[in-house]
């Protein structure tokens, strides 16, 4: 293992995505490794937001139909731009709502308990908001979450076993909802196999792609996934609170959404003002309210960056970055009780590194004081996300050296081993 800075610089010289770094507004003087929580602003995203603000200024209400990017069709356009990133047909994707709102919509639409099929299958490692939503949906249907929400357990606290999930697909399960990538450890679930096994048993299955979209390729349509949803502010760099997205397989088109609203309508009939919904015949039917136009605008620019870079190239560099970081950690930090808790196998490793250490919270504070932006996860996790579009191999090298110095000099002891309000 070559641990010299010059080797990191050599890797950067070979990087065919290095030029995209100039497309982003980088926080001055810092190494930003938190793009799996909030991606950085690209110049194209800033430009698309400014253009949309200008269209509001110039057109006022006519911006809904007269602008170069008519607002009335913005969600559909962004859906078409997003579709290649999830391996979907253009009409199967819509940019709308928030992550949890979209989950509520999809579960309301696809969770149809009948007979003994009344349970929802999830996992014990999922992000809390997903579990909150599933419990809420069960309660709305009159079921006790303690009895009707099954959560597959982890054998090591960080990863899930495919066989364990399949074993839990019992004949009383009506719906399955799982993450595509686990938010803590970065494990990629085998979505193709899980979908096939769910359908063998007559179970509808969907995935939360918040930590996978923009980080790994997907093939939702080919896999036959029933539904999926995601945020756009992590790897897709859409901005804080950016409008989210969802996917519905075309085999479900023609069904009314569980939560109907103004923008569930067919575009052609929406302004007929009928009190009987004529739902859109594509994923647009799963919209609820009016598009959040200003919040969606940055995606016009950020998705163009992905069109130019290509998700396969992004994934290839991401794997190189995380592999290089793991190799450096194993050599340079071997004496400091760090555990690499993310999968090491390329096939199941997402876009970030997950380290465990008993002093994780205070180590994260020390890193931040030294201008490295990490992400702490309770109880003892440090997430580091070297993002392919704007991070470098030299930044990976520098981060490991800074972390080594922090441990050698025990700088972390200046801080309380307790997370902040936002970790």
- Could you tell me which residues are annotated as the binding site for pyridoxal 5'-phosphate? 99-100, 127-130, 208, 211, 233, 262, 290
- Distance set, CA 376 to CA 34, 189, 230, 381 (Å): 10, 22, 21, 6
Q: How far apart are CA 219 and CA 176, in angstroms?
A: 18
Q: List, in order, residues 6 or more apart from 72 with CB less than 8 Å away.
A: 64, 65, 267
List the one residue out of 206, 149, 181 whose CA is nearest residue 322.
181
**Would you state the torsion angle of the CA atoms of residues 294, 242, 135, 94, taken in this order, to the nearest 10 degrees?**
70
* Angle of CA points 129, 130, 131, to nearest 5°: 90
Cα separations in angstroms, 229 against 102, 124, 233, 365, 383: 7, 19, 13, 32, 23
Interatomic CA distance for residues 40 and 389, integer angstroms: 10
Q: 40: which DSSP letter?
A: P
Report the SS3 class of residue 117.
Answer: strand
Question: In the numeric block, which tokens belong to residue 272?
Answer: 């007929």
User: Which ranges in 141-190 belong to alpha helices (H)?
Assistant: 145-148, 162-167
Give the Cβ contact number of residue 330 at 10 Å. Answer: 13
Of 409, 277, 274, 235, the residue nearest 336 (C-alpha): 409
Which parts are annotated binding residues? Answer: 99-100, 127-130, 208, 211, 233, 262, 290
- What are residue 175's phi and psi, to 5 degrees? -150, 145
Find where tokens 């949906």 sit: 137
Q: How many CB atoms lie within 10 A of CB 248?
A: 30
- Could you tell me how many residues make up the chain? 423
- If DSSP codes are grouped into helix, strand and coil, which group holds residue 98? coil
């Amino acid at each position: 293992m070559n641990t010299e800075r010059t080797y990191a610089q050599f890797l950067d010289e070979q990087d065919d995505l290095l030029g995209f770094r100039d497309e982003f507004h980088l926080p001055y003087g810092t190494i930003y490794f938190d793009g799996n929580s909030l991606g950085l602003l690209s110049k194209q995203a800033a430009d698309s937001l400014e253009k949309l603000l200008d269209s509001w200024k110039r057109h006022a209400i006519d911006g809904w139909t007269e602008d170069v990017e008519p607002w009335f069709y913005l969600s559909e356009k962004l859906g078409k731009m997003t579709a290649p990133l999830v391996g979907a047909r253009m009409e199967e994707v819509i940019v709308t709502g928030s992550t949890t709102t979209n989950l509520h919509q999809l579960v309301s639409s696809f969770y149809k308990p009948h007979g003994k099929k009344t349970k929802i299958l999830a996992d014990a490692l999922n992000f809390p908001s997903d579990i909150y939503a599933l419990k809420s949906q069960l309660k709305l249907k009159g079921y006790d979450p303690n009895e009707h929400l099954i959560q597959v357990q982890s054998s090591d606290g960080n990863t899930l076993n495919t066989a364990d999930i399949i074993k839990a697909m019992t004949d009383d399960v009506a719906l399955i909802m799982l993450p595509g990538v686990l938010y803590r450890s970065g494990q990629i679930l085998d979505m193709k196999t899980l979908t096939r096994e769910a359908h063998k048993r007559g179970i509808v299955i969907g995935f939360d792609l918040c930590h996978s979209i923009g980080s790994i390729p997907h093939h939702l349509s080919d896999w036959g996934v029933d539904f999926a949803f995601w945020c756009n502010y992590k790897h897709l760099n859409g901005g804080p609170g950016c409008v989210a997205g969802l996917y519905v397989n075309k085999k479900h088109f023609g069904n009314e959404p569980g939560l109907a609203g103004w923008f569930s309508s067919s575009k052609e009939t929406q302004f007929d003002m009928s009190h009987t919904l004529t739902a859109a015949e594509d994923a647009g039917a799963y919209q609820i309210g009016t598009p959040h136009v200003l919040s969606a605008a940055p995606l016009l620019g950020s998705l163009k960056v992905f069109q130019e870079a290509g998700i396969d190239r992004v994934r290839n560099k991401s794997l190189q970055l995380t592999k290089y970081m793991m190799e450096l950690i194993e050599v340079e930090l071997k004496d400091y009780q760090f555990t690499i808790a993310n999968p090491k196998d390329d096939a199941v490793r997402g876009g970030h590194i997950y380290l465990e250490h008993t002093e994780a919270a205070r180590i994260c504070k020390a890193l931040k004081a030294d201008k490295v932006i990490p992400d702490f996860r309770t109880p003892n996790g440090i997430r580091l996300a070297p993002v392919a579009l704007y991070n470098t191999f030299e930044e990976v090298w520098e981060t490991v050296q800074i972390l080594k110095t922090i441990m050698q000099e025990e700088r972390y002891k200046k801080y309380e081993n307790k997370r902040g309000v936002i970790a």
